[in-house]
Structures are given as structure tokens and as C-alpha cells.
Amino acid sequence: MRTLYQFNGGIHPPENKEQSTQRGITRAPLSSRLIIPFRQHAGEAAKPVVQAGDHVLKGQLIGMPCGLVSSAVHASTSGTITAIDMQPVAHPSGMPDLCATLIPDGKEEWLPHEAVDYRSSDSAELRQHLRMCGVVGLGGAVFPSDLKLRPLRGHPNKDIGTLILNGAECEPYITCDDMLMRERAAEIVQGAEMLRFMLDAGEVLIGIEDNKPQAITAMRQAVADSGLPFEVVVVPTIYPGGSAKQLIRMLTGLEVPSGKLPTEIGVQCFNVATVYSAYRALAHGEPLLSRIVTITGNVRLPQNLKVLLGTPVQDLVALGEALPDTNHYIMGGPMMGMELASTAVPLVKAGNCIIAASDKLFPPAPPALPCIRCSRCAQACPADLQPMDMFWFSQSREFDKAQQFSLFDCIECGACSYVCPSHIPLVQYFQFAKSEIRAREQDKQAADHARERHEFREYRIEREKQEKAGKLAAREQSIRQSQAAANSGIGPAIQPEIQAAIERARAQAASAEPRNTDNLTPQQRAEIAGVEARRERVRELAKSAVEHTNDHDKN
């Protein structure tokens, strides 16, 4: 029996998980139109490599990763790309983003793909393969997985002692990882072995909360069948025990230092769904084209669906048969999810759950009261922060002071807002403060860059001025030198030559043919004089006309 550790804080919201675990995972029918955003991962958006009108096969690359933190995007099924334009997407801003619209042809025709023999491949090649397969963290942060498998910069020889599979799934309502572990346990275990091989990790721990007994049994069985020395560890159910730092703390007792990555303490953590998609990518060569989504909340048929990425949320809602009093939808869980501006948005890699919400299910928050500094938020905070102080400084826009209270260690889990007796939306303040601080940092960088460019320009102008002055001085000197040379006695020696050249030129001019204006008859001369007079008159007229129009303009 493994010793478990505790983290401070945490809450126990009603779980509401049993509704959606009554049925197995079913495949969602193919939608008539898929909208595939090019930004489905943390970092830079992928660059489109197809055009409107192109026919694509299932699994074909349509978005090339661009920059270090980026990932590939693929056609989820075979069909025709009809447009590449801005479409509404699931984002707290409600703003549109670049998407490809794919009209499926219904044939599900795959691009040829094959397995990668991971044991005989180079680790960098495998990482590139995962990047080109679009494998990103499916727990919600959608961070490219290949970057988490990279040897740590600065500590190239730092060993990863522990690989943790995150099957905690602590947020209420969401059951997609639970169902995945129940039904695809063997594949997850195989995937874990692949990632363990890539990281060269010592032990593998699979952390699952104790409210998922069936998933625990299935995973234990799969580990026993595979004969691999992995350990399924049952952790107590507490929110947010599924957050990477908190799960690492529970399983190993280690705390990830502020501003550092888990790899720096020799631990790496992957969500089970990510491990499953890494397995599909390596063992079958399949890019990430679908994910398991929980449809729950105010619906008649809560269930888990295997959904192609890009499927409009409204089609999923229809499959769950949302009840008539549903008034809004949440993508993600009730604690950290975001309200969708419309159900026309597509399902993306981050979309683990769609909750149909009604006022009965989620009563609107009562009006907020002033903070009474009861410090219940500090007791609930799993990151050991003092939310009341961070709130105070975020509210008054004293961002540097908020930062001194470790604002950036906040994981935005919402535990503080949940327990606040004054119903203050604390997390919204923290999100606001964080994005303001980030924007300021960007402005500062831009200013520093502009200063550098301005100073270089001034330096360049100065340098050019000096170069010009130098050249001028050199020329003057060379003229002075040649004049001095002309006056200093070399002159008389070449004087006869010059005289001879002048003589020759004169002789040549004298022997030249007469021009056609020489030797004219008086009649011709009179004609020329007449022409010249006419020309003169015309010039005069033209001049006076211009003056006239100018006068006219002035008037």
C-alpha cells in the first residue's frame, strides 16, 4: 500500500457523475458539416496547407504546426474543404477564429497510415511524429504533448523518476476519462509504456479517484494482463485533485516549485485520454481526429460519445436531447468550463464535456457582498495562496502587488469562488489581472524593442554622416594633391603633348563636312526666319495662356 500525501484545501462539490455513466461510449453519427479550427492547442495556430475546394482524406494534414509551441490539425473525415475563413469558436471572448469547413462525403476514406516502431526510433523522431499527429493534452489545457516529452533544457541529464497517468477526473459532471478507462484500459496501458519508454521514466503511477471503482478495476486488470510493473493508485475524491500539481503532491509528496515545471522535480504527468491518443498515434499511425465527450446536465440522455473533432456542438446537444428549459451550454465542467456564446461552435480537442445548463441546475449566483476577509478562500485554495489579498489588489488594479501574492500560481480552479460566503467571482478577477499583466509585459517588450531600433537608427545616421564627411575630406585632399602635382614641375613635360592634341582637334573640325545650314540661298533663309517668327509667337501665346489660367485659379 502506497503512502498518499495531502494537499491543503480542496472542496467537495456534488459529483453528478452517475447520470452519464449508465451507457457505454457510443459513436456520434457523422455530421453534415464539420468546422475544424486551426487553433485547437495552446500556442501558435497551425498554418492552413489546404485550400477551399480541395478534396481531403480522413487523417490528412490540413494545418501545419507553426512555431515551437504548436501542433498539427487534420481532416477528421474524408470530404471536401468548402471554405477556410473566420468562424465562431469556443472561446471566452466569443470571437471568431480561422477554421476550415469540411463537408464529409460519408466514405470515411483513410489516408494510408502505419504504425511506428517506437522501440527502434529516435526519441526526437517520435516527438516529431506526435507533433505531426496533433497529440495534445486532452485534460483541458491542450498543451502539445511532444514538448512534455522533451529532455529538459538546462538539465539534459535530469531523469524523470515518475510518470503519472492522470485519471483523477475531479471536476463534477465530467466522465469521459472514466468511460475511456473502463473501455480502453489495455490501450491506455500500452500507451503509458510508450511514453515511459520515451521519457525513460522509472516508475509509472496511474492515479484514479475512488469514485470510479469500475475504471480502477479495469485499469488494474489491464496492468496485470500486460505484465508491466505499473501501479494503479486510488486517491481520495477531492476537487481539484486532478490538477497536475495537486495529483503529483498526492502521489509523490513532492511539491512543484512556483514557476517551475514538474519535470524539474523529476515527475511528468499525462491525462489518460492523452496517453490513449499517443497510443493511437504510435501503434496505428492515426492522428488525433476524435475524442470522448460527456453530454450531460439538463438532457434526457446523458452519455459519453466518441465525436469527430469539428462536429458542431448543436448536433451533440441534439443527440443528448436537451430539455426545453435549457438556457445555456457550458463546454468543460461547471467549475472551470466556459459558457458557450452559441451552439454553432465546433467541438475541439479541449472539449471534454458539454453541459446543458438551466437555472434549476445552476441557479444564478446571488448578488455579491463585500469581502469580509473571513479567509475561507485561503482555506480552500489548493495552491496555498491567499485569494482575498489577490482579489483586493486585482480589484484595485494594483497588479504588481497582486503578483507579489503569487497570482500566477493560481490554477483558476474556482474553489475560492465556490466557498466565498460573499459570492464574489474571485476567479474572474484573477483572470482579469493575469491577462492585464501579460498585456503589460508585451507592451514593455515592444517598447524595449522600439527603443533599440530607434537607437540603432540614430547610430546609423550618425555613422553615415561621418562616412560622408570622411569621403568628402579624402576627395578634397586628392584634388589638392593633383593640383600640387600640376604646379610642381611635371607640367611643362606634358605641355607640348596637350598643345599637339588641341592642334589635332582643330584640324579635325576644319576638315568636317559643312552643315546643312551653311551655304543657304536667300530664299531658304527667308523661310527659316518666317518659321522662327511663328514659333516665337506661339511661345508667347502659350505663356500668356498659362498666366491667364493661373489668374483664373487665383480668382
Report how far residue 548's alpha carbon sits from residue 105's, in angstroms, rounded to the nearest whole number.
Answer: 75
Verify binding: residue 161, another protein, rule CB under 8 A. Answer: no
The DSSP-derived string for 147-189 is: HHTSPPTT-TT----EEEEEE---STT--HHHHHHHHSHHHHH
Closer CB to another protein, residue 173 or residue 391?
391
**For another protein, which is the closer residue by CB, 152 or 338?**
338
Which span (163-171, 194-202, 261-269, 440-448) binds another protein, by CB under 8 A? 440-448
SS3 10: coil
List all residues 6 or more positions away from 185 whose beta carbon is below 8 Å from its beta carbon: 215, 218, 219, 221, 222
Question: Measured from the CB of residue 432, what is the shortest distance to another protein in angstroms?
Answer: 4
In the list 12, 155, 451, 535, the residue contacting another protein (rule: CB under 8 A) is 451
What character string, x for contact with another protein (CB under 8 A) and - otherwise, covers 186-215?
------------------------------
Cα separation, 288 vs 310, whole angstroms: 12
From 54-62, 189-197, 210-218, 438-446, span contacting another protein (CB under 8 A):
438-446
Among 366, 492, 496, 522, the residue binding another protein under the rule CB under 8 A is: 366
Q: ∠532-534-540 over CA atoms, to 5°?
A: 105
Q: Which of 92, 421, 491, 530 binds another protein (CB under 8 A)?
A: 92
| In contact, 143 and 183? CB cutoff 8 Å | no
With binding defined as CB under 8 A, does residue 369 bind another protein? yes
**Interface with another protein (CB under 8 A), residue from 118, 239, 329, 429:** 429
Looking only at the bridges linking them, the beta strands covering 290-297 and 353-357 are parallel
SS3 83: strand
Residue 38 engages another protein in binding (rule: CB under 8 A): no
DSSP 438-478: HHHHHHHHHHHHHHHHHHHHHHHHHHHHHHHHHHHHHHHHH
* Residue 368 in the binding site for another protein (CB under 8 A): yes
Q: For residues 549 and 551, what is the distance between their CA atoms, to the nearest angstrom?
A: 5
List phi, psi (to 5°) of 192.
-60, -40
Site membership for another protein, residue 107 (CB under 8 A): no
434 binds another protein (CB under 8 A): yes
Footprint of another protein on residues 314-343 (CB under 8 A)? none
Contact with another protein (CB under 8 A) among 258, 435, 466, 481: 435
**154 lines the binding site for another protein (CB under 8 A):** no
Q: Distance (Å, rounded) from C-alpha 520 to C-alpha 340?
A: 98
The least CB distance from residue 8 to another protein, in Å, is 26
- Residues in touch with another protein (CB under 8 A): 39, 89, 91-93, 95-97, 365-369, 425, 428-429, 431-432, 434-436, 439, 443, 446-451, 453-454, 456-457
